[in-house]
Structure 1
Amino acid sequence: MKNTFTLVLLVLTTMVTQAQITKDKSLNVQLGYGISVPYNSITDVADKGVFAQTELVLKVKSWLELRPYAGLIITNSNGKDLNNNPTFEVSETKAFLLGGKARLRAPIPWVAPYLELGIGTSIGSFKTLTAFDAVDKGGIIYHIPLAFGLELGKNNNVDLGFTYFFQPSVKQFAGAIAVGVTFPLNN
C-alpha cells in the first residue's frame, strides 16, 4: 500500500509538472518555526523545532496554483509543556516531507489570502507518547497538508502563513509558522 501510494504520488506530480495547463512556473522557498502536537493529550504539549520547504509553483489560473513540494521538519521535546511545567508527554517528528497540494488564492495585489489542501508522505521517525497513545514509529506514513496565510507584496512574492501536516497514523500533527519567498523560473 505504501509503495503504491508513493508511486501514484510521484507519477501525478510528474504529469502535472510536464502538463501544459500551467501559465507560469515559480519556486517558493519557506523557512519557519516548527511544532508537533499530539492529537490526544492531558497537558498543553507542543514540541518545537525547525521547518524548511521548497515548492514548485504551477499557476493554472490567477486564483489556482498546483504546488508539488519537498520539505523537512525536525522537532524535539524538552520535557516541558507550554506552561513550562515538566511533562512525560512527547510529540516529536524528524521527517522529510513530499507531496502535492492545490492553493486557492484571492488574486489581489499586495495582500492576497490563500488556503491550501493536498496529500503527501512523511519519511522519518515519529514519537507520540501521551496518557492515551504510545507511538514510536519510523518509516513512511501519509499526511494531509493544510495551510493558510497571506501572499504579500506588489507581485505577491512574499508568503507568510501557517502550514500543518496531519499525520493520523502516528496520532499527531506537525506544522509551522513560516515565511517564504517566490522566485520566477524562466522557460
Structure 2
Amino acid sequence: MKKTLILLIIILTSNLAEAQFIKEKSIHAQIGYGLSAPYNSVDEVVDTGFFAQGELVMKVTSWVELKPYAGFILTNSNGKDLNDNPTDEKAETKAFLLGGKVRLRAPIPWVAPYVEVGMGTSIGKFETFTTYDTYDKSGLIYHIPFSFGLELGKNHNVDLGFAYFFQPSVQQYAGAFAVGITFPLNN
C-alpha cells in the first residue's frame, strides 16, 4: 500500500507538470501555526507548533487547480488541555508531508473562497496518548489532506486558510492556520 501510494504520487506529479490542459503554473508557499489533536480524548487536547508547505500549482480552469505538495509539521505537547488543566493526553506530530490535492474555488474577484481535498503520506514520528488510544509510530503513514480558506487580492496571490491532515492510522489529525503567497512561473 505504501509503495503503491508513493509510486502513484510520483507518476501523477511528473506527468501532469507538462500536460496540455494546464493553463498556468505557479509556486505556492505557506507558513503557519501548527496544531495536532487526537480523534478521541477525554480532555480537550490540542498540541501546537510550526507548519510550512510548498506546492506546485497547476491551473486547469479559473476554478480548478491541481497541487502536488511537500511540507513539514512539528507539534509538541505542553502538558495542558485547552482549559489550562494538566493532562497526560497528547497528540504530537513531527513529520514531512508529501502528496497531491485538488483545489476548487469560486472565481470571485478579490476574495475567492476555496476547498481542497487529496491524498498523501506523512513520514516521521507520531504519538497519540489518550484514555482510548495509544500510538507511538515512526515511519510512513497515509493522510487525507483537507483545506479551506480565502484567496485574497486582485490576482488571488495571498491565501489565508486552515489546512488539516487526517491520519487515521494513528488516530489524530494535524493541521495549521496558515498564510500563503503564490508566485507565478514564467513559461
TM-score range, shorter chain: over 0.9
The alignment status of 1:101 with 2:101, answered yes or no, reads yes
Q: Could you tell me which residue of structure 2 aligns to residue 124 of structure 1?
A: 124
Deviation at 1:18, TM superposition (A): 2.4
Q: Which residue of structure 2 aligns with residue 146 of structure 1?
A: 146
1:16, CA displacement in angstroms?
1.4
Deviation (angstroms), 1:108: 1.2
Q: Percent identity?
A: 68
Query: How high is the TM-score relative to the length of structure 2?
Result: 0.99
Aligned residues: 187
Counterpart of 1:18? 18
Q: Are residue 176 (structure 1) and residue 167 (structure 2) matched? A: no
Unaligned ranges ≥5, structure 1: none
Give the Cα separation in 1 of the matches to 2:101 and 2:44: 30
Q: d(CA) in 1 for partners of 2:183 and 2:166?
A: 28
SS at match of 1:127: strand
Superposition pairs of residues 156-175 of structure 1, within 5 angstroms: 156-175=156-175
Structure 1 ranges of 4+ moved more than 4 A: none
Shift of 1:14: 1.1
Distance (whole Å) between structure 2 residues aligned to residue 4 and residue 102 of structure 1: 20
Distance 1:105 1:4 in 2: 30
What whole-Å deviation, never above 9, does each CA across 1:17-70 have from its counterpart, x for those lacking one? 221210000100000000000000000000000000001110000000000000
Matches within 5 A, 1:16-165: 16-165=16-165
Q: Hey, what's the Cα distance between the residues in 2 that align with 1:141 and 1:10?
A: 16
Output the aligned Cα RMSD: 0.6
Distance 1:32 1:8 in 2: 28
Q: TM-score normalized by structure 1?
A: 0.99
For each residue in 1:109-161, what CA deviation from the matched residue of structure 2 results, as whole angstroms up to 9, or x when unmatched?
11000000000000000000000000000000000000000000011000000
Alignment correspondent of 2:8: 8
